[in-house]
Amino acid sequence: MTRPDLALPDLARSSLARSNLDRRRFLKLGGAGLIAGASALGSSQALNRLALLDAGAGSEAVAYAPNGQLDQAIADAGLVLVVIELEGGLDGFNTVIPYESGAYRDLRGPGALDADNQRVLDDTFALHGAMPNLARRWDDGDLAIVHGVGIEENSLSHFTSVDVWNRGRVHSGDGTGWIARALDGAVADRDPLVGVSIGYLTPAMYGDGWSAVALPDDGALPWSASFIDRHPGIVAAYQQMLQSPSADDLSLGQRVRNSQHLVRSVADSIGSVTDLGSIVAAAELLEAPDLPDDVYVGDGLLAARLSMVADLITGGLPTRAYHVLHGGFDTHASQQASLPYLLGELDSAIELFHQALGVDAERVIIATRSEFGRRPKWNGSGTDHGSAGVQLVVGPRVVGGHRGEPSPLTRFDEDENFIVTTDFRQYLGGLTHGAFGVDPERVVPGTRNYLELIA
Amino acid sequence: MAPAATPRNVAHLLRRAAWGGTPAEIEHGVDIGIEALVDELYDVSAAPSLGEPKAVPGLYNFDVATLANWFVRTNASSSTPAIERLMWFWSGHFATSLDKVNTPDLLLLQWLTLRHLGLGRFDDILKAITRDPAMNVWLDLWLSSVGNPNENYARELMELFSMGESNGYSQADVVSAARALTGYGLEDLPGTGDRPVAAKLEPSRHDFGDKQFLGDIGNFDGDDIVDLIVERRECHEFIASRFWRRYAGTTPSGAVLSELGDAFGSRLRIDDLLRAMLTHDAFYEDEVHEGLICQPVELVIRAVRGFEIELFDDERLTIEEANDQFDADREAGTPTFFLPWGVTSLTRMMSQEIGYPPNVAGWPHNESWLDSNRAAGRLMAGIEFGWGLLNVQHPVGTWLLDNFDDTPALTAELMSRFGVVEWSEETDAGLTAAYLPNDPYQTVISSIAVVFTSPEVTLA
């Protein structure tokens, strides 16, 4: 299987091309071999794949379309939003650095980055030096940096802030998530696979009476109809018990039954549209012996998760939104030892993801989210919880450049944190409109001036 | 008036507070009543002393699989399961992850500390956890010193451990508490070869200035902060709500919370709170019976306990040696236990790894455990569990194979093993459909998996 060359000549010619990836098992996640049947996966999906292509719903058709037809294909299949949640609170101040500012050096003291660890973007800002690939995308106009993003009535609690971001609302008893509401507006039917969360199901995808799908983040679970089918007693029992999942009865007991019903139907769908073998392989850490200097895979978790998403996108799932976790950003201590690696992993994982997507990269928008930024003032070895921070949006369709006003560097809120200049809903609204063509007022109401992020 | 000691209520109490009861234990509870049963459950004179596990204490002796095996075995085999169930509660309340701590020994030490103090005074527990080495590493307390206070521990001490988010305190109180908590250094830092026993206050790193905290002003240290917190009504009701959430599952009414807060606040004792909660009529309402999803680790403990599975019990062996031992036993025809990786892989399959809570807020709750990934994991784990039971020729497995064509008996036996005394017609119909004439092996594995994932068992 060959793919057209991409606009990433160095990487495309390296051994990082997907077909040549040398993978090794990530030990912490080992144990897949203990699961009976794991070795039997990955076969017998050919027929279903053909059926999908006939139906014309898959991105295989997009992937091999001549360029002239690509726009139409995207118009038909829609853009795909991949949200990367930077868990713990990204330190925007050391990610996008106002390198000419004396205030930056004063506030950060020993935690301030020197010139060797910066990639200058323009007269005012530099990107953290651990992100050379994103710096190049900035030059290409494919990276938007969104400044001053936060929740106006800021909470310094991880869990309260995460909850507000997930709901896309403040002061609301509405338990649905913003991505689920956006998908309600974007697609006519509620096939659960319109939203896929890698790992646990993000509450941002909690729908009103429907559930999006969570898939294992290590690819180790045998998600296949054939696995269940090997146990005819279970099949018969479930046929008997799960004939009519109820959306009305919301008792926990009924939810247990509904969840097993969802497993069954998703296993069927996944098995029919993707090469399961490649998903299992995505659990294995990417390792390329001649990795270029500017690609750093780190623990490989994010790269593996995004590799799995790439498989699902190129495999033709009807999914319009993915959610992926990248943890470890709660850098109260030892920030100098951890942040470069976290950002390097992000930078490289995005690069490898684009590589794996091939021409499907044209229809994919990558957007970060993080519950809050961090305290401007250094605490001795790291940074405590803050308010406003930066978010990044990446992709060929992204309108590159600075978005939103940077927070002032000399005037803070009552807790000595950056002042929010971009309401988080302006950001989520921009993604809603840009990726799904849905009116943000229907999804993240209560603010104005939604950002223009995607052309 | 005490709640009625019906078999249903007694089985419910034993599942929630003690990993499930056998038919004989349920009958005993019906005989003596709920209040007497609760007293028996928390009778510490009956509790085995766990002490240190058999391995020589020291850094890096324990690997994660051994720790997980120790934990499940301790819970499943205990003569006082309610005491171990409480240790599990506390380990989630003060959720500390090996992802950052990296040293299973230290987590074990934390759990033993919590088990030792867990029924007693809450202020003692908070003071001990403030000095706990694993916690100090986990929330960066050992790096916090005068002039550079680190807010990580101070914030979660109030938000998650004692008061509830912004519930009677402000960001200024967090800053003050962080100053009061400076200087709690570890005596021996991780990685230096010696095991840190506890943190102590190092005067040279402590902020001795005055702090204003919850309205009081003084030269407070960490113990003072705890003393000021536990006086608060917010603390009493918050702790009551955390217990209710993990034992009952639902959101308690204001009246119930207030009663429980009173029962706890008068002496700050956890056993007072547990008795008040578990003998409260509200704990036996239908909503509570159907109000809690059993977490994967809990399900595995219930299964190992209920099916009387003997786990590998010698922490002096390495996992490799244990594997060899297991293979030798199986060849000799006397396989009687699951391997350590059996426990680890079963819970991991269901997205819960002992020692790795997702964050400091602890394990997910209720419907979060029902997303498609986790639901699929439960099904796979149910199949794996059934396969394992038959593979080791376990006596219960053999009994099930012998009776595979008597569906009502098979169903009753499986439900009973999980401490369940009532189940729905729907589940009955499913198990009837799972019967495959001429295939005892498939019938039993499928039936185990169906029961494992049934609402009756999934609801704790």
CB of A255 within 8 Å of any CB in chain B? yes
B227 and B303 share a domain?
no
B185 and B315 share a domain?
no
CB of A247 within 8 Å of any CB in chain B? no
pLDDT the model gives residue A272: 55
Q: Which of B213, B231, B249 is the last residue of a domain?
A: B231
Asked if residue A26 has pLDDT above 50, the reply is: no
Query: A195: which strand partners?
Result: A321
User: Which chain A residues are Cβ-neighbours of B102 within 8 angstroms?
Assistant: none
Residue A63 binned pLDDT confidence (cut-offs 50, 70, 90):
very low
Q: Is residue B57 included in any domain, yes or no? A: no
- Number of domains chain B is built from: 2
pLDDT the model gives residue B450: 95
Q: Which domains does chain A have, with CATH numbers?
A: 9-221+273-442 (3.40.720)
Q: Is residue B305 included in any domain, yes or no? A: yes
B227 and B313 share a domain?
no
Chain B: closest CA distance from residue A132 (Å): 28
Q: Is residue B142 included in any domain, yes or no? A: yes
**Are B433 and A415 in contact (CB < 8 Å)?**
no
Q: Which residue has the tokens 């988010």?
A: B165
pLDDT the model gives residue B141: 93
pLDDT the model gives residue B323: 73
Q: How many Å apart are CA A80 and CA A394, to the nearest integer?
A: 12
B452 and B354 share a domain?
yes
Chain B: closest CA distance from residue A70 (Å): 33
User: Which chain B residues are Cβ-neighbours of A252 within 8 angstroms?
Assistant: 249, 290-293, 366-367, 455, 459
- Per-chain mean pLDDT for chain A: 78
Q: Is residue B394 included in any domain, yes or no? A: yes
B326 and B178 share a domain?
no
- Best B182, B373, B401 member to test A by mutation, with max A CBs in 10 Å, is B373
B210 and B301 share a domain?
no
Q: Is residue B171 included in any domain, yes or no? A: yes
pLDDT the model gives residue A20: 23
**Are B379 and A260 in contact (CB < 8 Å)?**
yes
B310 and B454 share a domain?
yes
Pairing state between β A401-403 and A125-128: unpaired
Q: Which of B231, B248, B270 is the last residue of a domain?
A: B231
Structural domain boundaries enclosing B441: 296-458
Q: Is residue B40 included in any domain, yes or no? A: no
B331 and B216 share a domain?
no
pLDDT the model gives residue A240: 86
Q: Which of B231, B254, B275 is the last residue of a domain?
A: B231
Could you give the 3-state DSSP secondary structure of residue B84? helix
Residue A219 binned pLDDT confidence (cut-offs 50, 70, 90):
low
Chain A: closest CA distance from residue B430 (Å): 4
pLDDT the model gives residue A245: 62
- Interval A216-233 mean pLDDT: 67
CB of A202 within 8 Å of any CB in chain B? no
Single-letter amino acid, residue A232: P
Name the residue among B155, B450, B458 with its Cβ closest to that of A237. B450
B306 and B454 share a domain?
yes
Residue A30 falls in which region: left (phi positive, over 0), alpha (psi -120 to 50) or beta: beta
Q: What pLDDT tens digit does each residue of chain B (460 aa) get?
A: 689 999 999 999 999 999 999 999 999 999 999 999 999 999 988 887 775 544 444 444 677 888 888 899 899 999 999 999 999 999 999 999 999 998 888 898 899 889 999 999 999 999 999 999 899 999 999 999 999 999 999 999 999 999 999 999 999 999 999 999 999 887 654 554 555 556 788 899 999 999 999 999 999 999 999 999 999 999 999 999 999 999 999 999 999 999 999 999 999 999 999 999 999 999 999 999 999 999 999 999 999 999 998 887 766 666 677 778 777 877 887 666 666 667 888 898 899 999 999 999 999 999 999 998 899 889 989 998 998 888 877 889 999 999 999 999 999 999 999 999 999 999 999 999 999 999 999 999 999 999 999 999 999 9
Residue A231 binned pLDDT confidence (cut-offs 50, 70, 90):
confident
User: Which chain A residues are Cβ-neighbours of B152 within 8 angstroms?
Assistant: 330, 332-333, 384
How many CB atoms neighbour CB A302 within 10 A? Answer: 27
Q: Is residue B99 included in any domain, yes or no? A: no
pLDDT the model gives residue A250: 76
Q: Encode pLDDT of A135-185 as tens digits.
A: 999 999 999 999 999 999 888 999 999 999 999 999 878 889 999 999 999
Q: How many Å apart are CA A154 and CA B201, to the nearest integer?
A: 33
**Are B372 and A200 in contact (CB < 8 Å)?**
no
What residues contact A80, with CB distance under 8 A and at least 6 apart? A313, A319, A320, A321, A322, A363, A364, A365, A435
CA nearest to A259, candidates A320, A192, A175, A167: A192
Q: Encode pLDDT of B9-66 as tens digits.
A: 999 999 999 999 999 999 999 999 999 999 999 998 888 777 554 444 444 467 788 8
Q: How many Å apart are CA B33 and CA B18, to the nearest integer?
A: 16
pLDDT the model gives residue A367: 98
Q: How many Å apart are CA B51 and CA B45, to the nearest integer?
A: 15
Chain B: closest CA distance from residue A37 (Å): 10
Question: ipTM of the assembly?
Answer: 0.92
Q: How many Å apart are CA A71 and CA A78, to the nearest integer?
A: 10
Q: Is residue B111 included in any domain, yes or no? A: no
